Every structure is written in structure tokens, then in C-alpha cells.
Chains A and B, each alone.
Chain A
């Protein structure tokens, strides 16, 4: 019984982390139709700026809890600088091209940002460990957990709900949905697609940076963070259905639980469990769990 609870909780913690990290990728794909390989770099940049912000924040005598806001603010600042800059300054020149070309553009961006991050922050590690202790420790059964990890579960739920409500229950959200559904038609109906693209891309970057920012307290922030994150998010987004927020949530749960099951019961399989789930899912339901209906144009 203890083992089942542990697997469920571990899976849930892992799933919420994966969701926070991956959801930005699915949003950008949904709206802009770009499979963003540089997603991991935004994650890494978020981790770096958050580490800087946390370092500054806790060196003064500020209320500890508000450090979380400092991290959020840092991620937001990074997104506001990078999002519009990259969307207007780079990506828009490739919109009329094949979607595969756009994947390559983000691959080039991945290479560029990988070195740029190193040139800015160097190779020495940064830490943001203070927030990790904010929520103390919590016992569940005989197992001891760090409160911060459970806080991340809450954060993931909040992000998911805010995104879902924002898209489905607000006017501008519905406009975004219209763009996702049919870009040309929305444009013809008077939607400012350019604006939607800038905003959606920036939110996507913000979500990636936020993932990095809230991971920073439990890791050593240093070169090499980006690569692993891209593939994991990628798998989640494919399993869930490209462009679907609900799908990303459920896929994160599936991947998180699959990983927890593997580590507790068959640890040798951890290396490829994610790709196995992805391959099986694609074979069974190629469009993912929540596939947006595709129009077939003849």
C-alpha cells in the first residue's frame, strides 16, 4: 500500500514538473504551428535569471515567501525581452515557409542560444536554493517529501486552470482559439493575427522560463540544461496531441506515472520509458490524446 501511495505521489510531482516545463511548447505549436526546439533554451535562461534574482533577493532582508514572486518576475522579464524580439526579429521571416523549415530555424536558434547562454553566464554554477526550504518537509505515510515539490503540484494546477480559462472563457482567448483553428479565416474576419502571434509566443517563452525558474532551486544551474528538457517536452506534447493544453496535462500525468512506475518497479527501463510511451501512443492514436480536428484541404 505504501508503495502504491509513493508511486502515485512521485508520479504526480514528476508530472506537475513535466507539465510546467512542457505546456509552453504546446501553446506555441498550437498558435504559431512551430515545433520549437529552442524551448529548452528558454527553460535554461529562465533558470539562470531566476538564480540571479533569488541571489539578489535573499541577500537583502526581504520576506522569504515573496522570493517566489522574484522568480516569477525574472521569468516574465526574460520572456518580455526575448519573446517579441525573436518573434518579430526572426521567426516571422519564415512563416510563409514549410513547417519543417521552421523546426530547423528553431534548431539553429537552439545552437545560438546554447552558446549565448554560456557567453553571458559562464560555465560556473548558479544556485537558487533558498526557496527550496520555504515550505519545510511533509510526511505522507512513512515517506518524507519536500514541501516545495508539493507546492509545484499546486503551481502546475494553477497554470493549467489559468491557461484553460484564459483560452476558453475570455474573449481574447476565444480569438486565439479561432486563430489555432484557422489562421486565414480569422485574419479575414478582422483578427490581428500578428498581435496574437507575438503575445502567444511570448507567453510560450514565459511558461518555459517559468519552468526553468521554479526548477532552479533544486538543481545546479549550469551549461547543458536545455537538451534534456526539449526531448521530454516534445514527447509530452506529441502524446497529448499537438497544441492541446488538456492533452499536455494528461500526457504529463501519463509520463510522470510511467516514470515513477519504472523507477520503483523496473529501474532499468527508465532510460527509454518516455520514448516507449510515445511510440506506443503514436502507434495507437497518432494524433495524440486530444487532437484538434484537422481539415483536409483538397
Chain B
């Protein structure tokens, strides 16, 4: 199940299925999926960090940096191509992450979480202050183009955006899947279990954490950039603690065992939110909260745990 050809086949099949799905679903639904993918990418980054036993409450910082990186490249640099913009957003966050990571790698548990939170709230404050970036009102972006293709109608724009998001998601998911099963990826789990043991075995815990954090920053940046070109607007809210809180929820709901679970969780969250604001406009936050509680209670290992358990059971029965 893990040979490269099988994985690439599954990836290609997933892409085709997603592309067909996007044609069948109504436009608003497709757009909801795009934003869910953007958040899912950022949450996937968080999962990387969680695998090494840490939790960042400031993933919004990189989501925001990616959004502003892509947005400013479009507005100031005149770049319209979605792929370039997203890569630029990812790169900005990558650099930011690489700078911060060594400073953070010495912190653990709640201190790690609060320090990342403080950093993202500082960024939120600074952007609110930055009048030349529109302050708290933020900036509007132009519609992007896709490899030279400029959608003409609203339906075309949403579908191309969706296809683009699917490619990003499948690529990132694939990379993470490969990473999870690599020596480096498994080392993260070892750090989670026991840091001292890892150090005695001759690996640097600090380095593992730094690398994971930087990779998470990159994914957060890509997600933020995707969100920015989809919503066509950037504002400091992207770095607010509630944004980071959502990523944490998606990451916990999905668990750290499966990559596809992250996107399943993210899609679930967006649909529940949309569903509850439609049917309970006066209590949508409450419905969301109840959903969160129920999923934490009934899915102790997240959606990923559910998938994993099924797989194990199947394998178990095969042996028997």
C-alpha cells in the first residue's frame, strides 16, 4: 500500500474524482470546499507539529503571512498567476517560520502554545496599525489567473479555483503522507513519546521540532495564500486567535494519524458552520460548540483514529 506507483495512482484517481465532484456540486458548495481546503492545509501543518508532541496556538500567524505575502505580490508586484502567488505566500511563511523556529524549539507544552499565540497576536496588532496595508479593513485582491487562463464567468472562476485548490491539496497531502512514513516523520512520533530517548539515540530533538515547525509554517502559508485569492480579500483577522483556534480544532478532530482525515475534518467544520448559520441564525455559534464537544467526546482519536481502527481490523481479520 505504500509503493510510489500505488500512491501516485491513488493521488491521480483522487484528483479525477474531485474534479468530477466539483462539476456536480452547486457553486456555493464548491466555494465552501475551497475555503475548507485552505483551512485544511493550515491544519495539516499543525498536525505536523502535533506529531512531535507540541501544539501551536499561533498557526494563524503563518496563515496570515501567506495571505499577505500572496496579496501584496499581486497588488504591488502585478502578479496574477495563482500558482506563483500561492508559492510566494508559502515561501514568505517558510522564511518567517525558519527564523522563529530555533527560538521556539526550546519551549514545550503550554509555553510553546502561548508563545506562538503571543506572536500571532503581535502580528495582528501590527497589521491593524499598518494604515498603508489598509489597517483592520484590509485590502481587496483582483481575480487570479490560472496558468494564463483568465476565467470569464463567476461559475468558471469558482470551478478553476476549486481545481487549483484540489491540485494543491493532493500535492501537499501526498508529500505529508510520504513524510509521515519516512524515518524523519517517524522520528517526530518518537519525540512525542520520549524526547530523552531520542536524544540518547543520537538525534537532535530541537532540530526535529524546528523542521516540523518550519514545514508547518510553509503549509500554513500556502493555505493562507489560497484563502486570500479565493476570498479576494486579506485582513488582520487571519492572525487573530480565533482563526488559530479553528486550526487547532480541525487538527484535533482529525487526529495525527491520517492525512486525508485533516481535510475531512476541515470540510466537516465548514459545512456544519454553514448549516448552522442557515438553520439557526441566532445560535450558530452554539451549534458549532455542541458539534465540537460531541466530536471530541465520541472520536477520542479523531477521524484519523476511526480510519486507522478500521484498517487495523481489516488487516487483523486477514491474518486470522
Interface residue ranges, A against B (CB under 8 Å): 35, 37, 90, 93-94, 97, 99-101, 103-105, 107-112, 114-116, 118-119, 231, 234-235, 238, 242, 268, 271-272, 275-276, 278-279, 282-283, 286-287, 298
What CA separation (Å) do A235 and B189 show in the bound complex? Answer: 31
Residue-by-residue, is B128-149 near A (CB-CB < 8 Å gives 1, otherwise 0)? 1100000000000000000000
> Is B88 close to A, CB under 8 A?
no
Taking a contact as CB atoms under 8 Å apart, the answer to whether B296 and A279 are in contact is no
The complex places the Cα of A196 from the Cα of B241 at a distance, in Å, of: 31
Q: Which 5 A-B pairs have the closest CB atoms?
A: A272-B125, A111-B289, A115-B286, A112-B289, A108-B292
Which residues in window 42-88 of B have CB below 8 A to A? 55
User: B residues touching A (Cβ–Cβ < 8 Å)?
Assistant: 55, 103, 106-107, 109-111, 113-115, 117-119, 121-122, 125-126, 128-129, 194, 196, 241, 245, 248-249, 252, 282-286, 288-290, 292-293, 296-297, 300
Chain A residues with Cβ under 8 A from B248's Cβ?
100, 103-104, 107
| B55 adjacent to A100 (CB under 8 Å) | yes
A90, A100, A234, A286: the one contacting B293 at CB < 8 Å is A90
B122 proximity list for chain A (CB < 8 A)? 272, 275-276, 279
Residues of chain A contacted by B106 (CB below 8 angstroms): 286
A286: chain B residues at CB < 8 Å are 106-107, 111, 115
B288 touching A272, Cβ below 8 Å = no
Q: Is the Cβ of B249 less than 8 Å from the Cβ of A238? A: no
Chain B residues whose C-beta falls within 8 Å of the C-beta of A268 in the assembled complex: 129
Question: CB distance B125 to A275 under 8 Å?
Answer: yes
Are A101's CB and B286's CB within 8 A?
no
Whether B282 lies near A272 (C-beta < 8 A) is: no
Task: Name the contact of A112 in the complex, choosing from B118, B194, B286, B296 (C-beta under 8 A).
Answer: B286
8 Å CB contact of B252 from A104, A118, A238: A104
Measured CA separation A82–B110 after assembly (Å): 26
Other-chain contact of B121, A101, A108, A272, A298 (Cβ < 8 Å): A272
Pair B286/A104 contact, Cβ less than 8 Å: no
Give the residues in chain B near A104, CB-CB below 8 Å.
248-249, 252, 292, 296
Cα–Cα, bound, A286→B103 (Å) = 12
A231 touches B289 (CB 8 A): no
Cα A105 to Cα B252 in complex, Å, equals 11
The distance in angstroms between the C-alpha atoms of A188 and B273, with both chains bound, is 44
Given contacts A108-B292, A242-B110, 15 further A-B contacts (CB under 8 A): A37-B245, A90-B293, A100-B113, A100-B252, A107-B249, A107-B289, A115-B284, A115-B289, A238-B111, A238-B118, A271-B129, A272-B126, A276-B122, A282-B114, A286-B107
Check B129–A119 contact: CB distance below 8 A: no
Q: Name the A residues within 8 Å of B286 (CB-CB).
A: 111-112, 114-116
Expressed in whole angstroms, the minimum distance between the Cβ of B117 and any Cβ of chain A is 8
Which residues from A are CB-within-8-Å of B292?
104-105, 107-108, 111
Chain A nearest CB, measured from B285 CB (Å): 4
A93–B290 CA distance with the chains assembled, in angstroms: 15
Q: Can you list 18 A-B contacts (CB < 8 A)?
A: A93-B297, A100-B113, A100-B252, A103-B248, A104-B252, A104-B292, A105-B293, A107-B245, A108-B293, A114-B285, A115-B283, A116-B286, A231-B121, A242-B110, A275-B122, A276-B122, A279-B115, A282-B111
User: Once bound together, how far apart are the Cα atoms of A37 and B249, in whole Å?
Assistant: 14
The answer to whether A271 touches B125 (Cβ under 8 A) is: yes
The reply to whether B288 and A111 contact each other, CB–CB distance below 8 Å, is yes
**In the docked arrangement, what's the CA distance between A242 and B289, Å?**
26
Cβ-defined contact, B285 with A275, below 8 A: no
Bound CA–CA A93/B298 (angstroms): 11
Chain A residues contacting B288 (CB-CB under 8 Å) are 108, 111
* Known contacts A93-B297, A110-B289, A112-B285: A234-B113 contact under CB 8 Å: no
Query: What is the distance, in angstroms, from B121's C-beta to the closest C-beta of chain A?
Result: 5
Q: Which residues of B contact A276 (CB under 8 A)?
A: 122
Which chain B residue lies CB-closest to A107? B245
What is the minimal beta-carbon distance from B265 to any residue of chain A, in angstroms?
12
Contact at A275–B118, with CB atoms within 8 Å? yes
Q: How far is the CA of A234 from the CA of B196 in the complex (A)?
A: 30
What chain B residues lie within 8 Å of A111 (beta carbons)? 285-286, 288-289, 292
Within the assembled complex, what's the spacing in Å between the Cα atoms of A268 and B135?
14
Instruction: Give the distance in Å from the alpha carbon of A234 to the alpha carbon of B297 in the complex.
Output: 25
Q: A101 and B114 in contact (CB under 8 A), knowing A107-B292, A111-B289?
A: no
In the bound complex, CA of A245 to CA of B228 (Å): 43
Cβ of A231: which chain B residues have Cβ within 8 Å of it? Answer: 121, 241
By CB atoms of chain A within 10 A, which of B107, B248, B292, B293 has the most?
B293
- In the assembled complex, the Cα of A272 lies from the Cα of B151 at a distance in Å of 41
B300: chain A residues within 8 A (beta carbon)? 97
Closest to B291 in A: A108
B103 touches A115 (CB 8 A): no
B206 to chain A, nearest CB (A): 15
Point out the residues of chain A lying under 8 angstroms from B249, CB to CB.
104, 107
Tell whether A118 pairs with B282 under 8 Å between CB atoms, given A107-B249, A108-B289, A112-B290: yes
- Give chain B residues whose Cβ lies under 8 Å from the Cβ of A112: 285-286, 289-290, 293
Query: A66: shortest Cβ distance to chain B, in Å?
Result: 36
Q: Is the CB of B103 within 8 A of A283?
A: yes
A268 to B118, CA, bound (A): 19
Contact of B109 among A99, A109, A110 (CB under 8 A): A99
Q: What chain A residues lie within 8 Å of B282 (beta carbons)?
A: 115, 118-119
User: In the bound complex, what is the Cα–Cα distance between A216 and B122 (angstroms)?
Assistant: 29
| Cβ-closest chain A residue relative to B196 | A298
Residue of A nearest to B280 (CB): A115
Contact among B107, B109, B114, B296 for A234, CB-based, below 8 A: B114
Residue of A nearest to B55 (CB): A100
Residue of A nearest to B295 (CB): A108
